[in-house]
Amino acid sequence: MRNIKLTIEYDGKDYNGWQKQPNKLNIQGEIERAIFNILHEEIELIGSGRTDAGVHALGQVANFKTNSNFPIEKLPLAINSQLKNSIVIKEAEEVDERFHSRYNAKHKTYRYIINNSKTGTAIYRNLEYCYPFKIDVEKMKQAAVFFEGEHDFKAFKSSGTSGKNSVRTIYKAEVRQEGEKIIIELTGNGFLYNMVRIISGTLLDVGIGKIEPNEIPKIILEKNRQKAGKTLPAHGLYLVSVLYN
Amino acid sequence: MRNIKLTIEYDGKDYNGWQKQPNKLNIQGEIERAIFNILHEEIELIGSGRTDAGVHALGQVANFKTNSNFPIEKLPLAINSQLKNSIVIKEAEEVDERFHSRYNAKHKTYRYIINNSKTGTAIYRNLEYCYPFKIDVEKMKQAAVFFEGEHDFKAFKSSGTSGKNSVRTIYKAEVRQEGEKIIIELTGNGFLYNMVRIISGTLLDVGIGKIEPNEIPKIILEKNRQKAGKTLPAHGLYLVSVLYN
């Protein structure tokens, strides 16, 4: 069987997240339906991971197996013709039979965008989280560095999710300002449930002086969700890319 | 009477343009209604110029006269509270009684965004014009320079619009690439009807080899609309800023 890897962009606004679920519009299900329309074959689309309702992706990765010999270079436009414009297959590639988009993912990069104008933004209202009060970006940059490395990120996952191992490695944690936008970018070997949104909320708390940058190591060590910041809303979050070996 | 200058951002997608017209959702009318709700006074909002249906603005300017003594620093959020999220008053400022946002405008800057990925974009589908074929951006840059200076831009206005003077000065015409985006930015003392969208269409024709960069001066001189490129769609266009003395 052929194994096909897709790179996918989507606007999360109108979807109840990546994962297939009955009676709720979801991205996985929409793409499976579109592929069925093209290949006339029921496939199982394996994503690199779920994204929550409202979260966007610039480069989600998923794979599926098929017996079809549909030409790979024509596949993206063919599938896109069966999708709403809010989901776009950017690339399709034939990969080794053993490739698994979840198990083989090495790095993931997420981005969180805060719009820090006093009034908010009209054009990007569904693509950025508006926070109108004064933010000290330099402090956020200082704090971000403390997230880098291998840590138990138990304080930065939503409570209620099943326990197991909450140790992850963040290779890069960066904060930058572009005009009204404050952009948080995290690259790691994996992320816990809501981890990027909670780290972003914690960095925002640093930016507004609620937490000092050098308190971050202690918050990590204490492993107490209550000491970290709020979970920021979904519509500011982007899955940017998933890297494989 | 006080004269109030507003700087306005809007997502043009759901509006039939700036100008007030009966039974059609328009930006001028929405803001006048919002101001009425706050100041309880019927005002006339004078825009720096119209924008067409679907065109966005990052910094449209408009002014109105009022007898109200509503505090100026609270005005943007007060008006915004009465507007849909797709229109945002970014700033309000008290200006000289003689200030007129249309007559006193010295420079305007417009931006046109082409998305040049093969598949188009999901997230920015309403904010960028997707053109999937190969574009030579260097040629577009060479061609753009020829638009700078004082010219009769008759070839670059939509036919059917009333004649009069079509001489305008473009101070800067720039093309740049940012990832998948090709961004055209024009600053001038004024623009004819559809002029930015037609210049953008002409530059795109240069990018795909239909027109050579050094043919631009001839196209300008011939003043024949048929020799210039197509009018690109509204949703890629932004009024970026309006400058006054």
Same fold, B2-95 and B107-243: yes
pLDDT of residue A161: 65
Q: Is A54 on the interface with B (CB under 8 A)?
A: no
The three-state secondary structure class of B21 is coil
Taking an 8 Å cut-off on Cβ atoms, the answer to whether A120 and B76 are in contact is: no
Q: Specify the pTM.
A: 0.94
Residues of B in contact with A56 (CB under 8 A): 123
The answer to whether A128 touches A56, Cβ cutoff 8 Å, is: no
Report the pLDDT value the prediction gives residue B162, as an integer from 0 to 100.
64
In B96-139, DSSP assigns E strands to 105-115, 129-130
| Residue A142, Cβ density class (10 Å: 0-12 exposed, 13-18 middle, ≥19 buried) | middle
Distance, in Å, from the CA atom of B203 to the CA atom of B124, rounded to the nearest integer, reads 21
**Model pLDDT, residue A123:** 97
Q: Rounded distance, CA A60 to CA B191, Å?
A: 41
CB A76 within 8 A of CB B118: yes
pLDDT per position as a tens digit, B153-203? 999 998 766 668 999 999 999 999 999 999 999 999 999 999 999 999 999
Residue B245's pLDDT band, with cuts at 50, 70 and 90, is: confident
**Chain segment A154-208, per-residue pLDDT in tens:** 999 987 666 679 999 999 999 999 999 999 999 999 999 999 999 999 999 999 9
B120 and A88 in contact by Cβ < 8 A?
yes
> Measured between alpha carbons, how far is B59 from B106 in angstroms, rounded to an integer?
14
Burial of B73 (0-12, 13-18, 19+ CB in 10 A): exposed
Catalytic-residue membership of B52: yes
Record: fold of B2-95: Alpha-Beta Plaits (3.30.70)
**CB A119 to CB B77 under 8 A?**
yes
CATH code for the part of the protein at B107-243: 3.30.70.660
Q: How, if at all, do strands A2-10 and B129-130 pair?
A: unpaired
Residue type, B35: I
A49 Rama sector, left if φ>0, alpha if ψ -120 to 50, beta otherwise: left
| Averaged pLDDT for residues A213-238 | 97
Show residues of chain A in contact with B87, CB under 8 Å.
122
Q: pLDDT at position A164, please? A: 79
Q: What is the structure's pLDDT at B163?
A: 63
Q: Map out the domains of chain B as residue ranges.
A: 2-95, 107-243
**Cα separation of A20 and B86, whole Å?**
31
Contacts of residue B121, defined as CB under 8 A and 6 or more positions apart, other chains included, come to A9, A88, B115, B128, B130, B180
